[in-house]
Structure 1
Amino acid sequence: MKMRFLALATMWCSISLFAQDYFPKNDGVKAEDLNYTALTNAKIYITPTKVIDKATLLIYKGKVVATGKSVNLPKNTVSIDLEGKFIYPSFIDIYSDFGIDQPKRATGGGRTAQYESSREGFYWNDHIMPENNAIGVFKYDDKKAEELRKAGFGTVNTHIQDGIARGTGALIALNGKGSDADRILDDKSAQYFSLKKSVLKSQSYPSSLMGSLALLRQMYHDADWYAKGNVETKDRSLESLNTNKNLVQIFEAGDKDHVLRADKIGDAFNTPYVILAGGNEYENIPDIKATNAKLIVPINFPKAYDVSNPFQAQFLSLKDMRLWNQAPSNPKVLEENKITFSLTLHDLKSPSEFKDKLATALEYGLSKTTALEALTTVPAATLGKSTEIGTLQTGSQANFLITSGDIFDKGTILFENWVQGQQHIINDKSLKDIRGNYSLSAGGSTYTLSISGEPAKPIAEIKEGDDKRTSTLSYENSWVALTFHNKEGDKIYRMTGKVTSDSDNITGRLILPNGTETTFTANKTSPYSEIPKGDKQDKSPLVQPVTYPNVGYGYASRPKQETILFKNATVWTSEEAGILEATDVLIKNGKISKIGKNINAGGAIVIDATGKHLTAGIIDEHSHIALLSVNESGHNSTAEVKMEDVVDPEHIGIYRNLAGGVTSAQLLHGSANPIGGRSALIKLKWGASAEEMIYDNSPKFIKFALGENVKQSNWSSFSRFPQSRMGVEQMFINYFQRAKEYDLKKKSGQPYRVDEEMETLAEILNGERFISCHSYVQSEINMLMKVAEKFDFTINTFTHILEGYKLADKMKAHGVGASTFSDWWAYKYEVNDAIPYNAAIMQSQGITVALNSDDAEMSRRLNQEAAKTVKYGGMTELEAWKMVTINPAKLLHLDEKVGSIKEGKDADIVLWSHNPLSVYSKAEKTLIEGAVYFDLEKDKQQREAIKAEKAKLINLMLKEKNKGNATQDPKKTEKEEFHCDSL
């Protein structure tokens, strides 16, 4: 029993308590190393900006004791002469999963619906796991640690990369000679978050980006409620979240726009995130800089595409081609804009790729000082560990690199990586760089020998005249082994030689093909150069300029307001004035300034509109363009999600809609659930940010839905309520009753838990938010009006409403508007009774009627949809035109700003080549607030510019392939065109 105890004690000591001086020593006679170590005569980078030449670094017990030119060395000091060599602090990776097993996707059973959690005593949503601690599952792997050390890293900040709230990370020293007791610098170094749900959990919510953002907001509300002692039952998730809120908070965004989304969440809850970027921040630097967030920046720059096959190359988007060309400039652009950032290995296939990627960033303009800061002092400061790691100042951990020269030069050799004072040899310090060109004398002949590659792994090329010979080379401990074949390839010459210490020449023994032994000599004729002969010109990368947005058809600069006078146009006012012939319209300061005859131009740009038509911009009441996700289907009510969170300012649908005369749109949630998400009302400002597109003081809307989609009859889900139209009605009643009770408690002054879903529904009850409801069947339309009347509010708009003609009188009495299709019918069962006279019939009953698209293609042709009402219903041209201008403006409560040509309104107008209701008419100019966002002539120029730019980038990519650099296969990337039922 005693022996068993001693064995267990010894094992425990070796595993976890090596550094504890009070633990009994039961491992035999073993003296502790109490010597100092002095590394002398080196060029030492104490910090990236504090450098001392011919200096000494003195270390003791894994810490820096002193650094300088005159360091007093204790008697028990072991000195290592590093004449001609450099010392740098070892690198730090702040975003790693070192020592953590990759999470594996949950299998079997599919996603569980509603609120079903697999855990008790934790937060209701399984993807919120702040109780997780990386240290609990961490397992040191010295094989991977060695790969990291070879790349120059001495410390990593690791965590479990799974879930939306991921728990805490651990700061680990890559010390292969110590124990975890030595290596673990901090077992709770940071708290981590992301927008990605767990692959280990099967709970269905959230099923979208907007759902993830909404869940994070609700999580913080709930954490605050819990912290105030308002919850009787224990919630280990919220306790952990609150306990760790003072740690560094790190958020994985992974894209320039997600950086902004993450920062917005952080600002809302007073949580400054350190954000993992996406490498494309250069595309939106002003907004990125405005966040004031510290970034963690990957350098996983994409490979060039193999465009040698013209058929495959034609599918490449300009955006993807530009990303290859522009992404390496991202660190430089961040540096120029004084944005604080660390560099990370994240998303690289192997740490061995890091050196080349970093060299590329330096080639594109990143300074060496900033690069070193981004790998040492910045990550250390970000983690609050500046006194421990990242520098070689007194008291810091003895984590440092010994190199042959400037660490960022391609020819530099990394000799050693010391971690916590423990030496890890990468390459022999006596290794000499033998790369260069030689004259090789062997076997009575003279050859040209060129040695290139990495200093520690050189490669040889041997030529006799112009004939290249097959050869191999190995190099170790100053000894060279070289073989090459004769011209015919059937005889081999074998050589072994040593690099002479007093020169760069190589001499040694040669074995001829017939077995005769003789000597060879390789005399160096010129040093190694990365740039081939005859290619000495400036090699600065040819980086394409960024456009706004940075895709095809983006503009060199953002459109600006102009003073413009349209002369002699046919003006469709969409007001009582009707259609005005030969009329002038003056645009000034983003507004419609004057309408009339013979207006004085002043300093305005004058556009002759004779024979052309001027209208207000088209407004699409129901659109799904420019979104990153459209349905949050995880719950039957998702009133907490915001379409404003997922506006995609780079979506080509914006530009195409401008080309069709559309200037505003309501971006709606889909129809996967009875109560959907909150709408985004946007102006299609191509080149602006998502925030800039959203209407100032935007009216509040939400999407509701009825019919087949919400009861899931067309996507075979049987685990989520409701499953019938009866269930839909009861769901509405239940949620509004809960919202009513919530609102009463809130107004009473009692403490209450902030519930974003109930907040939204309460706004409906209070007349502060308006419902736009997806609808088809008469009975359901009638049902929702009755539910609304029961709770004393009015439905704002029934959208689609293809059976509206059956109950137009009841709709008028209720006070609801309609936004419908012109002539869609019979595309699914519940629209079998649709008729093309629907719009005209509803309008005849005094209902405000608009025409919507619900389709990215149709939204470009809403002018033609309006024209159909002239045929189906005998409407006048002006009344038909109102259905896509002032009527949708009224439904969206925007008619004081847009929807008609009236003095004082926003200058959102379109110049048409012909009558706007004609299929032959084209939008020649589309203006928003007096800025031209689409111009037909400019569009023609852009098409040619895109062809030219693609040709230029293709030639650059072909050069990359010809150089022998790795490439990737072309791929076709297209953004999904969403519809109501897109999941």
Structure 2
Amino acid sequence: MKKLLLLFPTILCALLVSSQEYFPKNDGVSHPNNTFTAFTNATIYVTPSQKIEGGTLLVQNGKVVNVGKNVTVPANATTVDLQGKHIYPSFVDPYTDFGVEKPKRQGGGRSAQYEPSRSGYYWNDHIRTDINAYEKFKFDDKKAKEFVEAGFGAVSTHHQDGVARGTGMVVALNTQGNNNERVLQQKATQHFSFSRSLEMQQAYPSSVMGSMALLRQMYYDAQWYEDGNSTTKDLALEALIAHKNLPSIFESGDKLNNLRADKVGDVFDIQYTIVGSGYEYENINEVKATNATYIIPLNFPDAYDVSNTYQAAYVSLSDMRRWNQAPQNPKTLADNNITFAFTTHDLKSPKELIAKVRKAMEYGLTFEKALEALTTVPAQILKNNRVGNLNTNAHANFIITSGPLFEKETTLYENWIQGGRHEINDMSQKDIRGKYELMVAGTAYELAITGEPGKPKAEVKQDTVKHKSNLSYTKKWMELSFTKDDETYRMTGIVSNTSDDLSGRLVLPNGNETSFRARKTGPAEEAGEEKKAEEKSSPQVMPVTYPNIAYGNSTLPRAQDILFKNATVWTGEEAGILEETDVLIKNGKISRIGKNLSAGGAQVVDATGKHLTAGIIDEHSHLALSSVNEGGHNSSAEVTMEDVVDPDDIGVYRALAGGVTSAQLLHGSANPIGGRSAVVKFKWGENAENMIYDNSPKFIKFALGENVKQSNWGSNSRFPQSRMGVEQVFTDYFNQALEYEAKKKSGKPYRHDEEMETLVEILNGDRYISCHSYVQSEINMLMKVAEKFDFNINTFTHILEGYKVAETMEKHGVVGASTFSDWWGYKYEVNDAIPYNAAIMYNAGLNVSINSDDGEMIRRLNQEAAKTVKYGGVPEYEAWKMVTINPAKMLHIDDRVGSIKEGKDADVVLWNDHPLSMYSKPEKTLIEGAVYFDLEQDLQKRNAVKKERNDLITMMLNEKNGGGKTQAPRQKPQRDFHCETDHLEEGFHTHH
């Protein structure tokens, strides 16, 4: 290094001491420094794609003045020779809460808060668009030091609380400056999430679907407000409107929430930058289709400690896979041309970042993409072209390293921020890591120095015996000691710049002094490093399946042309049951039904002695949902279950194994007016959108009884509290809907209200009601309310006292009664339930179906239908209709599914025996001609799961034995939603 010029003698002397500092430390006296500093002879990355060998970086007043191969260095410049060293732009983290106090959960009683607590702001407290990070910011020196030592020069920070979180700011991490200098952008971004505020107690929203509906309504209200239609001042909406041109960053934290956030944005032509989950590779095609830029956490999970075979059984295959597959996430994003930045969000400390990036590179991420994700892409997200690069006039934020960034042996020496130097490791201090032959008092030992260059650690061995040792290294002085047979040997020496060997004074255990010598024999290696390096050169990554859990598909099922020969065909139509009949499936449809059909190139399945039926349809299910109840209001007509369909639910595969092909996914029964339904096909492995019926019939869940009046959780703050209050809820909301529609039709400006839009659809016959019901008095009540507003109830579901009011229901025009076969006595409302209910309603002329409302019962709905034969003597053929064509008619999809009829969708099941028999199993379950369950393939999948688990367990044991970090096994609770499920999602604390 060249001596610095034009500095007074004391500083020149300081250059001669061991630390060789070329700038004085900050002693509290500040004055303008207008001198130039030239960093010469370095490998400089101006941007990830612009590299200069032997270049010069010239900085002044905290800015880059020039950079290049032939930069003219002013005569009065301070020159720093960086021969052999590298310069990179300092990193930028686009998603932190640096310097902003973390939100604290507020306490509350059992009764929820339903009204907002702030006057003059939005009607929902979780919309906090008026919060500005800069008003809450306090520079955190300790945390800044962590970021600086990890290579960061600037971060974006905001208050991470609420559904709409206000604005974020961009801050330089210059520990030597002040906030006037550090704050690069006071209002740089605006932030959103699906998580309710910890600091606010308003009950709504209590679910992801509630948060989605709230965000949609917020944007509609902002449009209404901006157009000057509101007579009430709203500071939250004004802030949202004022910030609408700022980049919108959405924390999803979940691979399905990525898509949900984008879905909200698409309604209003907003392209969010999405803070992802780290598992985007699992549904990469859908992620790519969002066209979003992503901020990706590098929270790769540690291996599980599976040494205990009993505990190992707790860990699911999907969790094992995520440990194995997650490091490939950045490469998968890059391979799909998805723009992404990295964040330290979800890491315990910024210092973990480099190791995580290095691991991602072992899984195929390129150097350039890794550097982009830490520099130019986050700067692009923040719309700040003065950070993340070293172009002229950029902030002088750069790091100096000993060699190529991300390589394990590379040392990060300094991080310059706004032209201020932050020393991380002494650049003049030699890296002494390596293997040595240590000679002490005539005895040879093996010495291995590993760890970080500035904080090395030592291991002393004689043969295979390790001796306890300590090492410190600073200011070129090394102090090493080890203990053998309770005797301690102490060594001190100065490290030479001209020799790789170490030598110096040795103090023997008896106090005598002599010398030691350590001859370097090779590079540094951690324990087991050779084996680990070999493994990491080509990590074995398990293939991703659809979904990426046990029993997922390696490829998505596709429609096949299949001819079932000689089956007993339960048509579900007037034709009845046809013996020894052929059914031809072509192009996803039922093409022909008859005898002696020709295959015409179709796959032939011998169905002799077997039964072919339409796929079972469940009118009432809560499978494949991420949430089931939005109980924050007594009406949640604005939410839709289509927003929260979860295609990864293993219950879907189990349902297919029971012959179920379609279902209505209903909102729960937390409130009288629930959410809109999702009518789906159980296409295992498809995404949520592809599971939902095209041109889906519109349904909504209503509920009566104990749940909606909150008997089950003792709340006394939300209306209704009684059954007569429930009736008033319906009347009030329908009257509001009539007023809303009248205003809408008047041609005058009106505030778009998603809740009212849904209720108007009911009044106009465009949306059907499935009503959770038990007691006859309430069933009669709702029919009277419907008649008052001139519409009919489509379906009473559960309807366990339906036998009492069957004739009244038939007269009212109820489309269907969907009930349990033999559930009774499990709560007060069902004390009068009887197992003959379905038969009595059937005999009264009602369209009756048997539903599950249960993730286990759905697998045996064929047996539940059979119980109606026992209880009430329903004919077998009619009993079978109760789980096929009857629910299809209730759901208004009978033109597509529910029976075997030419032209209908090929949603069929091949049973190995009579379909109403408890011994019968589906051998094949088809949806639109594609085989989604096959009994033989299921056995193969079971064996494959066992093998894969064993392979992953072996990998994790090797990781542990190689010194890798592990976490304790944990068992995830089994998920099974019901109507009354008290759904507590991450970030939510509510009552249902």
Q: Return the alpha-carbon distance in structure 1 between the equivalents of residues 378 and 28 of structure 2.
A: 41
Q: Aligned residue for 2:42?
A: 42
1:213 aligns with 2:216: no
Q: Return the alpha-carbon distance in structure 2 between the equivalents of residues 838 and 312 of structure 1.
A: 46
1:62 Cα offset (Å): 0.4
1:412 Cα offset (Å): 0.7
Q: Aligned residue for 1:883?
A: 882
1:671 aligns with 2:654: no
Q: Return the alpha-carbon distance in structure 2 between the equivalents of residues 336 and 281 of structure 1.
A: 12
Q: Tell me the amino acid that sits aligned with residue 164 of structure 2.
A: A
Q: Return the alpha-carbon distance in structure 2 between the equivalents of residues 706 and 535 of structure 1.
A: 62
Q: Aligned residue for 1:560?
A: 558
1:468 Cα offset (Å): 2.5
Q: Aligned residue for 2:56?
A: 56
- Unmatched runs of 5 consecutive residues or more in structure 2: 1-26, 983-992
Question: Does the residue aligned with 2:240 lie in a helix, a strand or coil?
Answer: helix
Q: Tell me the amino acid that sits aligned with residue 512 of structure 2.
A: T
Percent identity, aligned pairs only?
65
1:465 Cα offset (Å): 3.0
Matches within 5 A, 1:319-338: 319-338=318-337
Matches within 5 A, 1:630-641: 630-641=628-639
Q: Tell me the amino acid that sits aligned with residue 582 of structure 1.
A: E
Q: Tell me the amino acid that sits aligned with residue 717 of structure 1.
A: S
Q: Tell me the amino acid that sits aligned with residue 284 of structure 1.
A: N
Q: Return the alpha-carbon distance in structure 2 between the equivalents of residues 102 and 886 of structure 1.
A: 55
Q: Return the alpha-carbon distance in structure 2 between the equivalents of residues 191 and 134 of structure 1.
A: 10
TM-score (norm 1): 0.96
1:497 Cα offset (Å): 1.2
Contact kept, 8 Å, 2:110 with 2:715, in 1: the verdict is no
Contact kept, 8 Å, 1:300 with 1:348, in 2: the verdict is yes
Q: Aligned residue for 1:23?
A: none
Q: Return the alpha-carbon distance in structure 1 between the equivalents of residues 666 and 752 of structure 2.
A: 24
Contact kept, 8 Å, 1:44 with 1:55, in 2: the verdict is yes
Q: Return the alpha-carbon distance in structure 2 between the equivalents of residues 28 and 899 of structure 1.
A: 81
Q: Aligned residue for 1:591?
A: 589
Question: Does the residue aligned with 2:423 lie in a helix, a strand or coil?
Answer: coil
Q: Aligned residue for 2:720?
A: 722
Mean Cα deviation higher: 890-899 or 27-36: 27-36
From 495, 504, 509, give the equivalent of 2:491. 495
Q: Return the alpha-carbon distance in structure 1 between the equivalents of residues 532 and 332 of structure 2.
A: 28
Q: Aligned residue for 2:9?
A: none
1:145/1:31 CA distance change after superposition, 3 Å: closer
Matches within 5 A, 1:770-919: 770-816=768-814, 817-919=816-918
Q: Aligned residue for 1:522?
A: 518
Q: Aligned residue for 2:990?
A: none
1:964 Cα offset (Å): 2.0
Contact kept, 8 Å, 1:621 with 1:819, in 2: the verdict is yes
- Unmatched runs of 5 consecutive residues or more in structure 1: 1-26
Contact kept, 8 Å, 2:111 with 2:717, in 1: the verdict is no
Q: Aligned residue for 1:351?
A: 350
Q: Aligned residue for 1:713?
A: 711
1:178 Cα offset (Å): 0.8
From 462, 474, 477, give the equivalent of 1:476. 474
Q: Return the alpha-carbon distance in structure 1 between the equivalents of residues 316 and 532 of structure 2.
A: 31
Contact kept, 8 Å, 1:678 with 1:700, in 2: the verdict is yes
Q: Tell me the amino acid that sits aligned with residue 690 of structure 1.
A: A
From 383, 390, 393, give the equivalent of 1:392. 390
1:547 aligns with 2:545: yes
1:162-199 deviations in Å (ceiling 9; x for gaps): 00000000000000111100000001010000000000
Matches within 5 A, 1:420-459: 420-459=418-457
Mean Cα deviation higher: 550-559 or 835-844: 835-844
Q: Aligned residue for 2:503?
A: 507
Contact kept, 8 Å, 1:911 with 1:925, in 2: the verdict is yes
Q: Return the alpha-carbon distance in structure 1 between the equivalents of residues 711 and 518 of structure 2.
A: 80
Q: Return the alpha-carbon distance in structure 1 between the equivalents of residues 31 and 463 of structure 2.
A: 63
Mean Cα deviation higher: 445-454 or 373-382: 445-454
Contact kept, 8 Å, 1:90 with 1:152, in 2: the verdict is yes
Contact kept, 8 Å, 2:112 with 2:715, in 1: the verdict is no
Question: Does the residue aligned with 2:368 lie in a helix, a strand or coil?
Answer: helix
Q: Aligned residue for 1:965?
A: 964
1:214-272 deviations in Å (ceiling 9; x for gaps): 11111111111111111112100000001101000000001111000000001111111
Contact kept, 8 Å, 1:111 with 1:202, in 2: the verdict is no
1:156 aligns with 2:152: no
1:664-689 deviations in Å (ceiling 9; x for gaps): 00000111110000000000000000
Contact kept, 8 Å, 2:547 with 2:686, in 1: the verdict is yes
Question: Does the residue aligned with 1:473 lie in a helix, a strand or coil?
Answer: strand
Q: Aligned residue for 1:13?
A: none
Contact kept, 8 Å, 1:342 with 1:379, in 2: the verdict is yes
Q: CA RMSD in A?
A: 1.4
Contact kept, 8 Å, 2:532 with 2:962, in 1: the verdict is no
Q: Tell me the amino acid that sits aligned with residue 412 of structure 2.
A: L
Contact kept, 8 Å, 2:58 with 2:64, in 1: the verdict is yes
Q: Return the alpha-carbon distance in structure 2 between the equivalents of residues 660 and 457 of structure 1.
A: 61
Q: Return the alpha-carbon distance in structure 1 between the equivalents of residues 201 and 822 of structure 2.
A: 42
Q: Aligned residue for 2:69?
A: 69
Question: Does the residue aligned with 2:494 lie in a helix, a strand or coil?
Answer: strand
1:385/1:30 CA distance change after superposition, 3 Å: closer
Q: Aligned residue for 1:131?
A: 130
Contact kept, 8 Å, 1:57 with 1:68, in 2: the verdict is yes
Q: Aligned residue for 1:5?
A: none
Q: Aligned residue for 2:732?
A: 734
Contact kept, 8 Å, 1:113 with 1:635, in 2: the verdict is no
1:658 aligns with 2:656: yes
1:31 Cα offset (Å): 4.7
1:869-891 deviations in Å (ceiling 9; x for gaps): 11222121111111100000000
1:537-570 deviations in Å (ceiling 9; x for gaps): 4631111100110001111111111111100000
Q: Return the alpha-carbon distance in structure 2 between the equivalents of residues 809 and 527 of structure 1.
A: 89
Q: Aligned residue for 1:167?
A: 166
Mean Cα deviation higher: 208-217 or 339-348: 208-217
Q: Return the alpha-carbon distance in structure 1 between the equivalents of residues 534 and 230 of structure 2.
A: 70
1:439-487 deviations in Å (ceiling 9; x for gaps): 222212222212122222222122233332221111112221111223x
Q: Aligned residue for 2:681?
A: 683
Mean Cα deviation higher: 538-547 or 324-333: 538-547
Contact kept, 8 Å, 1:110 with 1:202, in 2: the verdict is no
1:285-308 deviations in Å (ceiling 9; x for gaps): 110001100000000111111111
1:507 Cα offset (Å): 1.6
Alignment coverage as a number of residue pairs = 953
Q: Return the alpha-carbon distance in structure 2 between the equivalents of residues 535 and 50 of structure 1.
A: 33
Q: Tell me the amino acid that sits aligned with residue 854 of structure 2.
A: D
Q: Return the alpha-carbon distance in structure 2 between the equivalents of residues 279 and 188 of structure 1.
A: 27
Q: Tell me the amino acid that sits aligned with residue 358 of structure 1.
A: V
1:155 Cα offset (Å): 0.4
Q: Return the alpha-carbon distance in structure 1 between the equivalents of residues 153 and 129 of structure 2.
A: 27
Q: Tell me the amino acid that sits aligned with residue 759 of structure 2.
A: L
1:50/1:893 CA distance change after superposition, 3 Å: same
Q: Tell me the amino acid that sits aligned with residue 586 of structure 1.
A: L
Question: Does the residue aligned with 1:470 lie in a helix, a strand or coil?
Answer: strand
Q: Aligned residue for 1:32?
A: 32
1:214/1:28 CA distance change after superposition, 3 Å: closer
1:546/1:106 CA distance change after superposition, 3 Å: same
Q: Return the alpha-carbon distance in structure 2 between the equivalents of residues 929 and 75 of structure 1.
A: 79
1:108 Cα offset (Å): 3.4
Matches within 5 A, 1:242-261: 242-261=241-260
Q: Aligned residue for 1:101?
A: 101
Mean Cα deviation higher: 79-88 or 803-812: 803-812
Question: Does the residue aligned with 2:422 lie in a helix, a strand or coil?
Answer: coil
Q: Return the alpha-carbon distance in structure 1 between the equivalents of residues 371 and 445 of structure 2.
A: 42
Question: Does the residue aligned with 1:807 lie in a helix, a strand or coil?
Answer: helix
Contact kept, 8 Å, 1:111 with 1:203, in 2: the verdict is no
